[in-house]
Amino acid sequence: MKKTSRRQFLKVAAAGAAILTTGKASASEMHQKVNNNTLSMLYDATKCVGCKACMAACKRVNGDYGSLSYERASFDPDGLWDAPQDLTGSTRTLIKLFKESERDWSYVKYSCMHCQKPSCVSVCPVAAMTRDPQTGIVDYNKNTCIGCRYCQVACAFNIPKFQWDRALPQIVKCDLCKNTNLRQKGITACAEVCPAGAISFGKRGDLLEEAQKRLRENPGKYLNHIYGEKEVGGANHLYLSSMQFNKLGLPVLKDEAPAEFSEKIQHTIYKGFIAPVALYGTLCWIAVKNMRKHGPEETDHHKDTDKQGGA
Ligand code: SF4
Ligand code: SF4
Ligand code: SF4
């Protein structure tokens, strides 16, 4: 009898331990350190001359693979090409100009940040968004995607775009030229063509060193901040600028990744379950023990009561 109740108690305790162990494994995965060996780009806004060669190269090189295309000017029926106003279902990267005054202005380039802890990957219910742990490339698989667009909602940088105008729409975002320029030439198309050296391509660690060197050697030229180094757990797309990044449309974000935060909540809830589950197990064990102990007397009492009732 005693043996059975102990076994039950141990089962409950083991179940609790299993929950705790599972939580710890996932949490440690999410708390992995930033990987500085991943492929990265450093965009230096102070060097950019706004020529948009990077945008054109991106569309030219990735046109077939990424379903990109030049956009016709809505006002021109004669076939002139328009410059897109925003990242779209046919535009993976965009150059914009921010102008505060005649003296204070800057170009800025938008494209996927290739976050080290990407929310788009974390929320995708069918793993259509994936992150390669070796290269750090956050990629998209159109054959797996079910079009829920959770990735769009989850991205703090508002990067993934949906092809609303197509019969078979897909999500569009930079994949670091994974299947095109990177595969053929070992460098991204936008970095390859930039005539001003505003886009550097390489390992994250090397680009961070380069960015730090530029900050050290040019005091007063740059804002003392490498955007993407720490934001949302670190990104592979890094930025240098002379202006506040939020003015350039790059949001002010915490160092902690939202994906990491949501996992923390999950695991806190799991951990919170351990005490009640263990307490419940203990109470069950005591109850079973007491029932066994007092069971025969209670049975006799009921028998007596039944007899009295029957008399
Ligand atoms: S910037 Fe957005 S789309 Fe790109 S990896 Fe990060 S969360 Fe995903
Ligand atoms: S890395 Fe390739 S896909 Fe990404 S913005 Fe540059 S050219 Fe476009
Ligand atoms: S190609 Fe270079 S200089 Fe020209 S817009 Fe792009 S980043 Fe700027």
Question: Looking at ligand 1, which residue's alpha carbon is closest to its atom 6?
Answer: 115
The response to whether 115 counts as a known ligand-binding position is yes
* 92 alpha carbon – ligand 2 mean position (Å): 7
CA-closest residue to ligand 3 atom 8: 48
Beta carbon of 38 within 6 Å of any ligand 1 atom: no
259 within 8 A of 119, measured Cβ to Cβ = yes
The closest residue, in CA terms, to atom 2 on ligand 1 is: 155
Which ligand minimizes its atom distance to the CA of 197?
Answer: 3
CB-defined site of ligand 3, < 6 Å:
48-54, 95, 107, 109, 194, 196, 198-199
User: What pLDDT score does 77 carry?
Assistant: 56
The neighbouring-strand residues paired with 239 are 43, 227
- Judge whether 177 is annotated as a binding position: yes
User: Nearest Cα to 62, choosing from 186, 181, 217?
Assistant: 181
**Cα gap 138→169, rounded to integer Å:** 19
From first to last of the 311 residues of the chain, give the pLDDT tens digit.
Answer: 344 444 443 343 333 333 333 333 333 444 568 999 999 999 999 999 999 999 989 988 888 766 665 544 445 556 566 678 899 888 899 999 999 999 999 999 999 999 999 999 999 999 999 999 999 999 999 999 999 999 999 999 999 999 998 888 999 999 999 999 999 999 999 999 999 999 999 999 999 999 999 999 998 999 999 999 999 999 999 999 999 999 999 999 999 887 665 555 444 444 454 455 555 555 656 666 666 655 544 444 444 444 444 33
CA 67 to ligand 1 centroid distance, Å: 19
Q: Is the CB of 204 under 6 A from ligand 1?
A: no
Query: Is this prediction's pTM over 0.85?
Result: no
Q: Is the CB of 112 under 6 A from ligand 1?
A: yes
Q: How many CA atoms lie within 13 A of 60 on its CB side?
A: 12
What's the CA gap between 177 and 187, in Å, rounded?
A: 8
Q: What's the half-sphere exposure (Cβ side, CA atoms, 13 Å) at 14?
A: 6
Provide the token pair at 68: 């990109």
Q: Which helix (H) or strand (E) holds 286?
A: helix 258-310
51 a known binding residue? yes
233 neighbors 255 (Cβ within 8 angstroms): yes
CA of 113 relative to ligand 1 center, distance in Å: 6
- Cβ contacts of residue 102 below 8 Å, gap of 6+? none
**Residue 31 in tokens:** 């708390």
Amino acid at site 143 = N
Q: What pLDDT, on the 0 to 100 scale, is given for residue 166?
A: 85
Cα first-last separation, the chain: 36
Interatomic CA distance for residues 125 and 118, integer angstroms: 14
Give residue 286's pLDDT. Answer: 60
pLDDT value at residue 154? 97
Q: Cα of 115 to ligand 1 centre, how many Å?
A: 6
The DSSP string of 16-65 is HHHHHHHHHHHHHHHTPPP-TTSEEEEEETTT-----HHHHHHHHHHHHH
139 CA → ligand 1 middle, Å: 9
Per-residue confidence (pLDDT) for residue 246, from 0 to 100:
97
